[in-house]
Amino acid sequence: KQLPTLGGASPWATTGYAACKQEVTRQNSLFLIYLHSPMHRQANRVLETLCHEAVLSQLEQPNMTNLGVSIHTAQGAHLAKLLQAAAYPLLVVLQPPSRPSSSSMQLVLRAEGPALCSMTPTALAQHLSSLLQRHQVHLAEQEARRIQREQENQLRREQDAEYQAALLADQERQRSLEEERQRVQREEEELKAQKQAIEQAKESRLSRARQLLGDGEPTSGEITRIRFVLPSGKKLGRKFLSSDTVEVLRAFLTLHFDENGVDMPNIGLSTSFPKKTYNDGDQYQLSLSQAGLSPQAVLM
């Protein structure tokens, strides 16, 4: 039975295993091998899975090379032995070696026999999509390492050139080093002053927040229940007095983020329906009742 295609273009290689392996190594793509057993009673079902549009869309990705072989051919028998097939049909995905000096390909997916026969097109497509995404990350990491090596080599060459120049002009080099030392010292002092200012501002915010929030949740009086949806998606609920101001809500969040090690100097509040924001100084002084947040509200 002919292997599936989508849009008239076949995603399946027409060359043999050796040629495909060379192409995979050259292009640094994933290598999918499907060993087909025509006599297997579930053979047609697996082919229908491979014919599914969701699966074909993954097989046609640029970083995927696909080889389908019948086990009743010499190449199929060779691959069955090479891949140590225990049941049919067999589908494996291999990843080319990370180092050019290595010839071993890494197995990243293996499905055979009943496990492959029972796999739905959606499940197989998801497996392939996940592999392609991880492979893309792998390629990006390899490229980053290559660029880093080039940068390190370039840096060493520049350092050697600078050293040779320094031997010819030692006095100038000493002067430059002293100027650089003074510049670094000034930057360190400026950075230290900036950090101190940031810490002081942070402590001032926290002190103000503690004063506004008081001790614990209210247990009596007119209560407003606020549910916060944090940027992480986490939901946080707390009771406030309806007479508390919007600034008290911001004080509560300021302390919450600080206790959880999150640096959040600027906090904006809004409701999703009706859409309303509470992000300026005048609104901070509104009570929860005046702001339309009582007796309960959800704030982003």
- At 90, give phi and psi (nearest 5°): -130, 135
Average pLDDT (198-202) is: 82
Q: How confident is the model at residue 205 (pLDDT cuts 50, 70, 90)?
A: confident
* pLDDT of the residue at 9: 66
pTM (2 d.p.) = 0.49
**What's the average model confidence in pLDDT over 195-206?**
83
Mean pLDDT (the chain, rounded): 87
Instruction: Summarize pLDDT for 244-291 with one digit per residue, the tens.
Output: 999 988 888 888 888 888 887 788 888 887 788 888 778 888 888 998
Unique residue bearing structure tokens 């192409």: 23
Q: Per-residue DSSP letters for 73-136? A: SHHHHHHHHHTT--SSSEEEEEE--SSTT--PPEEEEEEETHHHHT--HHHHHHHHHHHHHHHH
152, HSE (Cβ side, Cα atoms, 13 Å): 6
Backbone angles phi, psi at 269, to 5 degrees: -125, 145
CB 31, CB 96: distance < 8 Å = yes
List pLDDT tens digits, range 63-76.
999 999 999 999 99
Q: 177 pLDDT band (50/70/90 cuts)?
A: confident
Distance CA 182, CA 187 (A): 9
Nearest to 33, CA basis, from 64, 74, 8: 64
pLDDT tens per residue across span 209-219? 888 887 788 88
Residue 52: pLDDT over 80 = yes
Neighbours of 13 (CB within 10 A): 20
pLDDT at 167: 83
- Please state, in angstroms and rounded to a whole number, the distance separating the CA atoms of residues 69 and 3: 10
- Summarize pLDDT for 117-167 with one digit per residue, the tens: 999 999 999 999 999 999 898 888 888 988 898 999 999 988 888 888 888
**Which DSSP letter does residue 70 get?**
E
pLDDT of 5 above 70: no
| pLDDT for res 7 | 45
Task: Tell me the pLDDT tens digit for each residue of 76-120.
Answer: 999 999 999 999 999 999 998 876 666 688 999 999 999 999 999
- Please report which helix (H) or strand (E) contains residue 298, including its range: strand 296-299
Cα distance between residue 95 and residue 104, in whole Å: 9
- Looking at residue 102, its pLDDT comes to 63
Contact 135, 95 (CB under 8 A): yes
Residue 233: which residues within 8 A CB-CB, separation 6 or more? none
In the predicted model, what is the mean pLDDT of residues 234-242?
A: 91
Residues 177, 178, 182, 188, Cα dihedral to 10°: 40
Q: What is the 3-state secondary structure (H, E, C) of 178-215?
A: HHHHHHHHHHHHHHHHHHHHHHHHHHHHHHHHHHHHCC
- Higher per-residue confidence, 294 vs 101: 294
Does a cis peptide bond (omega within 30 degrees of 0) precede residue 89?
Answer: yes
pLDDT tens string 6-51: 445 689 999 999 999 999 988 889 999 999 988 888 888 899 999 8
Give the per-residue pLDDT at 208. Answer: 84
